[in-house]
Structure 1
Amino acid sequence: MGGEKRIPFSFARRPCHKAAMKKLDRLPTRAEFSHVTDWVFDLDNTLYPHHVNLFAQIDRNMTAYVAELLSLDPAEAKKLQKAYYRDHGTTLQGLMIHHGVDPNDFLERAHAIDYSVVPADPALGEAIRALPGRKFIFTNGSTAHAEMTARALGILDHFDEIFDIVAADFVPKPAGDTYDKFMSLHRVDTRNAVMFEDLPRNLVVPKALGMKTVLLVPRNLEYEFVEAWETSSDADEQIDYVTEDLTGFLSRVVATV
């Protein structure tokens, strides 16, 4: 980004993911999920598949925000935006630390997007509805964004609560304090909980807290036009399951619980 050529690369070609690759075909069983009472889902690229590419709109809005704020050309703004994302967990956190931006203004402008590109997914809704226990959305985005996205998918009514970046005091995953705030607020027993995420680094803390962890990957294990560090991780041993089909994964859990 910002002068660097981004090229598609395959999850299957990255040696750091060999352990996770082996888990792609590992199917959930009744014994492994029968104790789960709290189901925690990331939002973007987790509750909807990577190929929907909704986040691309948010990404463009964030780049435009940085460019306007700091009078940068688009390439330099993109480079700085991604550096803040990499170093601070979200672009917003970096902008707050280094430039004192109004987080609410940033979130409103970043999420001014077209949600009609998100297809309704009744099968996913049915699978989530059938899960025994409570269901949460835990996102580094805003509640408004989560509600709009989940409403477009047709799954909003199946969730008990949304924990967003505002509730986290604007400190994003993977910060341990943010997970602690979520668990404390909702009285989640991590021994009876599972976390679904698309970023390996965001599963390190949940695993350490005793949660089961599920990594969502793109269809055919192909990440296109992403930064290598976003999917590169030393945390493969912290991932219990890998799936490219959330609906199928949950449906199997429901069928065996």
Structure 2
Amino acid sequence: MASRPRLPASVRARFAHVDTWVFDLDNTLYPAGSAVWPAIDERITRWLADLMGIDGLTARGLQKYYYRRYGTTLKGLMEDHAVAPEAFLSFVHDIDRSSLAPNPALVEAVAALPGRKLILTNGSKDHALRTTERLGFAAGGFEAVFDIVSADLVPKPEAAAYERFFLLHDVDPRRAAMFEDLGKNLVVPHARGMATVLVVPPTTAEDGREPWERLGADASHVDAATDDLAAFLVGLELGIVRGT
């Protein structure tokens, strides 16, 4: 793994007590410049166009309206059109992941973290398992995937999604850290005591997210930001801090 400048002592201290590591999936465990999320995004648009018999441009606008208002397009569809979530999730996550390169540095860095590792995603469990497998994570690399179905179809950033996650997986947020690519999804974790990290794309990488999705690196609910998740995890130097 390439060497990086040491993280500030204040950042390392913020994570020294953490024993539960919680990761978002899309645009977090894999980079925002990947083709994975645009492929999902395009299939969501196709689903809306087919469901409502509208053109792609109109479907795209409606998709983004639902996403921004409800947290996920799926929730908007359930609220307004009683869409069955299983069929939607299966369709939109049926994508080609072959362009996603394995990331052995990230796999090694996550494995070296002391304590539990979990995924908390607004996507599906199947999508999370297929994607992490492609990245090189073996079965059991993460203790569990808490997906949108596990959340009773209530998405981040709603507080109820996090509370259900804490309860179901017996997570003490005061001893946990959350890694996310959306700043708004770190508001509740920070308020509940989690250490928070915003994962941003490198300045040289393509970023297909909406402009408003890229905000928040300087917000008070973000303890740290990084454009290299693997290097950040290594930079926490937890083995040194804990004498392992």
Q: Deviations over 1:63-83 (max 9, x none)?
A: 000000001100000000010
The number of residue pairs the alignment matches comes to 234
Mapped pair 1:35 → 2:17 = yes
Partner in structure 1 of residue 198 of structure 2: 215
Contact residue 32 and residue 208 of structure 2 kept, 8 A: no
Contact residue 57 and residue 113 of structure 1 kept, 8 A: yes
Q: Segments of 4+ in structure 1 off by > 3 A?
A: 25-30, 221-226, 232-235, 254-257
CA distance in 2, matches of 1:256, 1:68: 55
Matched residue of 1:66: which SS?
helix
Contact residue 40 and residue 195 of structure 1 kept, 8 A: yes
Contact residue 195 and residue 213 of structure 1 kept, 8 A: yes
Mapped pair 1:178 → 2:161 = yes
Mapped pair 1:107 → 2:107 = no
Mapped pair 1:145 → 2:131 = no
Letter of the structure 2 residue corresponding to residue 169 of structure 1 = D
Letter of the structure 2 residue corresponding to residue 45 of structure 1 = N
* Gap change, CA 1:190 and 1:132, over 3 Å in 2: same
Counting helix residues as a fraction of each chain, which structure ranks higher?
Answer: 1
Report percent identity of matched pairs: 48
Q: Deviations over 1:145-177 (max 9, x none)?
A: 000000000124321111000000111000000
Comparing 186-195 and 230-239, the one that deviates more: 230-239
Decide which of 242, 252, 255 is 2:225's aligned counterpart: 242
Mapped pair 1:229 → 2:212 = yes
Q: Deviations over 1:99-145 (max 9, x none)?
A: 11110000000001001111111111111111000000000000000
Decide which of 101, 112, 123 is 1:119's aligned counterpart: 101
Letter of the structure 2 residue corresponding to residue 241 of structure 1 = A
Report 1:16-95 matches (<5 A). 27=8, 30-95=12-77
Letter of the structure 1 residue corresponding to residue 232 of structure 2 = F
Runs (5+) with no aligned partner, structure 2: 1-5
* Gap change, CA 1:225 and 1:134, over 3 Å in 2: closer
CA distance in 2, matches of 1:196, 1:165: 17
Q: Deviations over 1:1-22 (max 9, x none)?
A: xxxxxxxxxxxxxxxxxxxxxx
CA distance in 1, matches of 2:117, 2:209: 29
Comparing 95-104 and 230-239, the one that deviates more: 230-239
- TM-score in terms of structure 1 length: 0.86
Partner in structure 1 of residue 170 of structure 2: 187
Letter of the structure 2 residue corresponding to residue 247 of structure 1 = A
- TM-score in terms of structure 2 length: 0.90
Partner in structure 1 of residue 187 of structure 2: 204
Comparing 151-160 and 201-210, the one that deviates more: 151-160
CA distance in 2, matches of 1:153, 1:97: 34
Matched residue of 1:39: which SS?
strand
* Gap change, CA 1:163 and 1:225, over 3 Å in 2: closer
Alpha-carbon distance, 1:234 to partner = 9.8
CA distance in 2, matches of 1:146, 1:226: 19
Q: Deviations over 1:70-99 (max 9, x none)?
A: 011000000000100000000100001001
Q: Deviations over 1:190-238 (max 9, x none)?
A: 1110000000000000000000000000102766443222223598111
Comparing 142-151 and 25-34, the one that deviates more: 25-34
Partner in structure 1 of residue 3 of structure 2: none
Letter of the structure 2 residue corresponding to residue 176 of structure 1 = A
* Gap change, CA 1:124 and 1:222, over 3 Å in 2: closer
Letter of the structure 1 residue corresponding to residue 176 of structure 2 = A
